Amino acid sequence: MSRVLEETDCPVPSSDLYDRGYGDVGIDFLTVTRQADNIITNPPGVEVKGTGTTAYAWFVWDKDAPNGTELRWFKPGYKARYAS
């Protein structure tokens, strides 16, 4: 996710509580004092339960959004359109 966002030429600080091979390691975003205009999280993994699959979502918080926080689906094909 960070690599795709970095293609916008904007700074993209990346971190994780655990070493997953990318970004700063050992950063708990619930306790860190680092400031950010926006936060995008990607809860890890997909769980296979029986014959179904539970997928996780990305959450984007924009503190300057005029109408507060809202959750919306990305349109189908979004990943293919923007991923390299």
Give the model's pLDDT for residue 51: 60
pTM listed for this prediction: 0.46
Task: Identify the DSSP state of 70.
Answer: -
Would you list the DSSP string of 35-53?
--SEEEE----EEEETTEE
Confidence of residue 43 (pLDDT cuts 50, 70, 90): low
- The burial class, CB within 10 Å (0-12 / 13-18 / 19+), for 80 is exposed
Residue recorded with tokens 């050992």: 26
Q: Which residue has the higher pLDDT, 73 or 27?
A: 27
Q: Can you tell me the mean pLDDT for 24-52?
A: 73
Inter-residue contact 40 to 5 (CB < 8 Å):
yes
